[in-house]
Amino acid sequence: MKPALLAALLFTVAWPAAATAQDLGAPIGEDGPVERAATEASQAQAEEGISFTVTDESAWQDIGIAIPAFATDRDRATPANEAGTAALGREVARVITANLRNNGLFKPVGPDSLPQPTFPQITSPSFSTWSGRSAEMLVHGYVRARDDGRLVVGCYLYDVALQNELVREGWVVAPGDWRRAAHKCSDLIFSRLTGESPFFDSRIAYIAETGPKDRRVKRLAVMDSDGANHRFLTLGSATALTPRYSPDYSKILYLSYVDGNPRIYVYDIGSGKQTLVTENRNPTIAPRWSPDGKHILYSMAVAGNTDIYRVPATGGASVKLTDNPGIDVGGSYSPDGTKIVFESDRSGSQQCYVMDADGKNQKRISFFGGRCATPEWSPRGDQIAFTRIAGDFNVAVMNTSGGNMRVLTRGWQDEAPTWAPNGRIIQFFRTEQNTGRSGIWQVDLTGQNERRLPTPVDASDPAWGPIRP
């Protein structure tokens, strides 16, 4: 009796202890692709007649886009919205409006100040209504609840002056994924009007911060690109830092002090389990994925000296890529995976270097005065974003040989840029002087459209994932 009781006690005590020992919350489950739905009209129709050419971003911002509430064939209950599919259609239009407005891309007008089209009008708009409101572009859409509970969301973009359909697409989503359909529609509009790749349907991993400056609690967290669907992944008993989403969103690399030392872990999002990136007694920091997700870069200090290593994502032997008495840290692959940009203080201060993916041909590229830290290669391949330290800390970009350096932000301490999947927008974190409070900000490549992202608490170390399938 007594040993059994003791064993039972030990079991009940040990189980939650094991969970907290890893500092992990409940798993959030896997990410899946969104199914495309057939829309009624032919695709060919969509390819005709675009009426203007976009040459720079400032021109986009003058485009007025009307985004009235999405219609529904019949108002039905859906787990996505208590009030039914008609109310959900209004929400979808609001999300699209916020996406386009918040990123400084266009002048969208949302459903709350516009008349609502009927379901038949989605495919044959009342153009006179919209030209009278001086809208140049018109977004229509519908939300339909299927009998299996899933939602079909259709999205149509019209040129009001030409009275012409520019593009249409539809998606089938689970009710819990309705925002993804709104992001897919935002991406469709953005791509059609700018010729750029999409970026709205993506997620961001970051560090949520609470507490006073000397006892900051730092938790791993994730959210959609617009701040929705926010989740904390760690509990906060151990400091978590510097996350990176895997290219397929199945895993997150991040640093945790869960065993008392800085160590890189591979966190599996589906199972909620994590493993060390490499079995080693030395501290490991600064994790990065290769673009194909097959390799991981990490930096490891041996007897105080930090160098960059590469290990297969499935485990195995590590390869040392730098071998230098200076601090070599970080690393960001070019999109084709052939080169790596990293930072090193081998010259006496932090500067940016490029090497081949196997560590050969290491060459400094930053020669513009000040320091070059946390370089990140653009997904488009043509630019490198970095933290420029010259008095204050600011986010800057340069080309891949270190030329055409441009400073984009003017904060006291702006740090650690991360690229939107399409390489048009950069997020970073800004720390306030004295208080140490931090927030995630984003800026476009002109440096003119800067805004703070809404997060439930203070935030740092953003890592923008790729566009979702």
Partner 1 sequence: MNTKIATILLLASATGLAACAKKAPEVLPPAPTQTAAPTQPTPQVQPSGPAVGTQGHFAAAVGSSTTIYFDTDRYNIDTQDAAALQAQAQYFARFPQVTFTIEGHADERGTREYNLALGERRANSAKAYLVSLGVDANRISVVSYGKERPVALASNEGAWAQNRRAASVIIN
Candidate residues 46, 109, 286, 365; the one interacting with partner 1 per rule CB under 8 A: 286
> What is the Cα–Cα distance from 306 to 282, expressed in whole angstroms?
10
* Rounded least distance, CB 301 to partner 1, Å: 4
Interaction between residue 236 and partner 1 (CB under 8 A): no
Nearest distance, CB of residue 375 and partner 1, angstroms: 11
Cα separation, 416 vs 459, whole angstroms: 12
Select 52 or 412, whichever has its Cβ closest to partner 1. 412
**How far, in Å, CA of 66 to CA of 315, rounded?**
51
Residue 467 · residue 199 · CB < 8 Å: yes
Applying CB under 8 A, does 401 fall inside the site for partner 1? no
Q: Which of 74, 146, 213, 452 binds partner 1 (CB under 8 A)?
A: 213
145-153, 173-181, 258-266, 309-317 -> range binding partner 1 (CB under 8 A): 258-266
Note whether 262 and 285 are within 8 A (CB): yes
Say which amino acid occupies 41.
A
According to the binding rule CB under 8 A, does residue 369 interact with partner 1? no
Closest CA to 186 of 176, 172, 174, 171: 171
Q: How many residues bind partner 1 (CB under 8 A)?
A: 42
Q: Which is nearer to partner 1, 299 or 422 (CB)?
A: 299
Q: How far apart are CA 19 and CA 264, in angstroms?
A: 18
By the rule CB under 8 A, 139 interacts with partner 1: no
454 burial level (CB within 10 Å; 0-12, 13-18, 19+): middle
Does position 253 interact with partner 1 (CB under 8 A)? The reply is no
Determine, following the binding rule CB under 8 A, whether residue 350 of this chain makes contact with partner 1: yes
Binding test (CB under 8 A) with partner 1, winner from 12, 20, 210, 261:
261
% helix / strand / coil in the chain, to the nearest 5? 15, 40, 45
Distance CA 242, CA 228 (A): 21
* C-alpha to C-alpha distance for 214 and 193, rounded to whole angstroms: 48
DSSP state of 131: H
Residue 436 binds partner 1 (CB under 8 A): yes
Does 394 bind partner 1 (CB under 8 A)? Our answer is no
Helix (H) or strand (E) holding 188: helix 178-194
Q: Which of 23, 177, 343, 376 binds partner 1 (CB under 8 A)?
A: 343
Q: Which is nearer to partner 1, 261 or 448 (CB)?
A: 261
Interface with partner 1 (CB under 8 A): 212-214, 216, 218, 239, 241-242, 255, 260-262, 283, 285-286, 299, 301, 303-306, 327, 329-330, 343, 345, 349-350, 373-374, 387, 389, 393, 413, 415-416, 431, 433-434, 436, 460-461
